[in-house]
Amino acid sequence: MQDTIRTLIQKNSSKIFMFVLDGLGGLPVRGSTELEAAKTPNLDAIAHTSACGLHVPVGYGITPGSGPGHLGIFGYNPVEWQIGRGVLEALGLGMELHNTDVALRCNYSTLAEGLVKDRRAGRIPAGRSKKLTEKLQEGINRIDEAEIIFSAGMEHRFAVVIRFPEPLEIGSTLVNDTDPQKTGKAPIPPKPENKQSERVARIAEKLIREASDILKDEERANYILLRGFSQVPEIPSFEDAFGLKALAIATYPMYRGLARLIGMDTPVVTGDIREETEFLKNNLNGYDFFFVHVKKTDSYGEDGNFEAKVSKIEEFDGVLPEILAMDPDVLIITGDHSTPSLIKGHSWHPVPVLLKSPYVLGRLSERLTERECTKGELGIFPATGIVPLALANSGRLRKFGA
């Protein structure tokens, strides 16, 4: 479909805003989902006059990671373009990646008696994480033939790039994550899935051992978990695919990494919803498309914190008048996937989506909620349809055929 869209693109001065409340969708707890429980008078008002529906991030029944979830809403088929989270994290932290590199997304964690007590080391502060990462870099800069490069991220997260002296064979990153995904379990040793990945697995094993020795006296962050072994792929840029010069406003590195991978501008932004909205207001010139990412809706869902996720949705509702005052030609509000507090993780459920423009029917949904969105004109549709709909509603697509 991207090839067809590319032939129909026409330029104009319209502005498209896409606000992604990460993990937006939920399931009922005491009868209501987080969206239903939230007091959102501003969202309710625009939902009534907007096109609403539910998007399927990857496919029915498939639970997406954040990478595939975002690729889908950016118009890329996430099955065709599979991108490892290590690459996204590294790019988001501003690390340069070569075709000789393997990137990993890592967690500081707490290990006790050989078992993972806390997968996130109590979400240690970014300042502490930075000092620990610097300590690791001082102690580990080469393992065997590979250079090792560290970069601190948000809270307990950091990235590692394993830089080899020459490009790797296809399949070299087929090494399992070492995170057991549950507390009370032992870390999983890095094992190669084929002959090509033996080299990477061997270095990963040594990296864990050397890092553990350096961190052994830490009370909480005394162990590292490795995730998302991956290499950077070749992927069409967002501007080439859809004719939109794009700005990404995201505080978490992984989401900047994904945006950067497809050619969006990705300045470092700090703060939360209000700071991101202010940054948007001050950077409207020079761009056609604005991706604004809100993380904590997902974090609270993963923590099983229903009330905090409701509060974060209400906080977004509070800044919505400022967003509307910027007068976007098309406004999209959605999530990359659902993260119900009930499940404490990502889920396969379709995600609410709202599209506001002068060219929709509207008056079908009363609120931006899971149940109300089933009544909307967009129905239940693939996430890859969102950007083409935005292009059409902004007058950026010519007629197809005679």
- Does residue 210 sit in the same domain as residue 320? no
CA distance 107 to 103: 13
Q: Strands 16-21 and 289-294: what pairing?
A: parallel
User: Does residue 334 carry a pLDDT above 90?
Assistant: yes
CA distance 344 to 150: 30
- Does residue 192 sit in the same domain as residue 278? no
- Does residue 368 sit in the same domain as residue 287? yes
Instruction: Give one DSSP letter per residue of 246-279, joined into a string.
Output: EEEE-SSHHHHHHHHHTT-B-----S-HHHHHHH
CA distances to 98, 225, 231, 336 from 234, rounded to whole Å, are: 12, 27, 10, 22
Q: Specify if 192 maps to a domain.
A: yes
User: Does residue 72 carry a pLDDT above 90?
Assistant: yes
CATH number reported for the structural domain that contains residue 136 in this entry: 3.30.70
- Does residue 246 sit in the same domain as residue 357? yes
pLDDT of residue 184: 95
Give the residue from 179, 212, 230 where a domain finishes.
Answer: 230
Helices (H), 174-290: 198-215, 238-242, 253-261, 273-281
The reported pTM is: 0.79
Average pLDDT over residues 296-311: 97
Average pLDDT over residues 63-85: 92
**Helix, strand, coil distribution of the chain in percent, nearest 5:** 35, 20, 45
- Does residue 242 sit in the same domain as residue 389? yes
Tell me which residue range forms the domain holding 267: 2-81+235-393
- Does residue 275 sit in the same domain as residue 369? yes
User: Does residue 92 carry a pLDDT above 90?
Assistant: no
Q: Specify if 367 maps to a domain.
A: yes
- Does residue 239 sit in the same domain as residue 291? yes
Mean pLDDT of all residues belonging to the chain: 95
Average pLDDT over residues 190-210: 96
Which of 226-235, 256-265, 358-367 has the highest mean predicted lDDT (pLDDT)?
A: 358-367
pLDDT band at 325, cuts 50/70/90?
Answer: very high
- Does residue 114 sit in the same domain as residue 260? no
- Does residue 108 sit in the same domain as residue 42? no
Q: Are 302 and 339 contacting, i.e. CB atoms less than 8 angstroms apart?
A: yes
Q: Specify if 43 maps to a domain.
A: yes
pLDDT band at 286, cuts 50/70/90?
Answer: very high
Q: Specify if 400 maps to a domain.
A: no
More confident: 84 or 336? 336
Average pLDDT over residues 238-261: 93
- Does residue 337 sit in the same domain as residue 358? yes
Q: Specify if 398 maps to a domain.
A: no
User: Does residue 232 carry a pLDDT above 90?
Assistant: no
Structure tokens at 396: 């950026």
Average pLDDT over residues 212-240: 94
Structure tokens at 129: 């994480």
Give the residue from 211, 230, 249 where a domain finishes.
Answer: 230
Q: Specify if 401 maps to a domain.
A: no
User: Into how many domains does the chain fold?
Assistant: 2
CA distance 381 to 369: 16
pLDDT of residue 402: 80
- Does residue 154 sit in the same domain as residue 56? no
User: Does residue 99 carry a pLDDT above 90?
Assistant: no
CA distance 287 to 330: 14
pLDDT of residue 333: 98
Secondary structure of residue 181 in the 3-state scheme? coil
CATH number reported for the structural domain that contains residue 68 in this entry: 3.40.720.10
Give the residue from 192, 211, 230 where a domain finishes.
Answer: 230
* Angle at the Cα of 69 from the Cα atoms of 68 and 70, rounded to 5 degrees: 95
Query: Can you say whether residue 363 is alpha, beta or left, with left for phi > 0 and alpha for psi between -120 and 50 degrees?
Result: left
Structure tokens at 171: 């399949």
Nearest to 354 by CA among 47, 17, 55, 57: 47
pLDDT of residue 83: 83
pLDDT of residue 375: 98
pLDDT of residue 220: 92
Structure tokens at 395: 């007058």
Secondary structure of residue 228 in the 3-state scheme? strand
Query: Can you say whether residue 155 is alpha, beta or left, with left for phi > 0 and alpha for psi between -120 and 50 degrees?
Result: left
Q: Specify if 399 maps to a domain.
A: no
pLDDT of residue 321: 98
Query: Can you say whether residue 94 is alpha, beta or left, with left for phi > 0 and alpha for psi between -120 and 50 degrees?
Result: left
pLDDT of residue 26: 98
Q: In what order do the strands lie in the sheet with 16-21?
A: 246-249, 289-294, 16-21, 330-334, 351-356, 51-56, 379-382
pLDDT band at 271, cuts 50/70/90?
Answer: very high
- Does residue 74 sit in the same domain as residue 112? no
CA distance 198 to 185: 25
Average pLDDT over residues 276-288: 97
Q: Specify if 206 maps to a domain.
A: yes
The pLDDT tens digits for 11-28 are 999 999 999 999 999 999
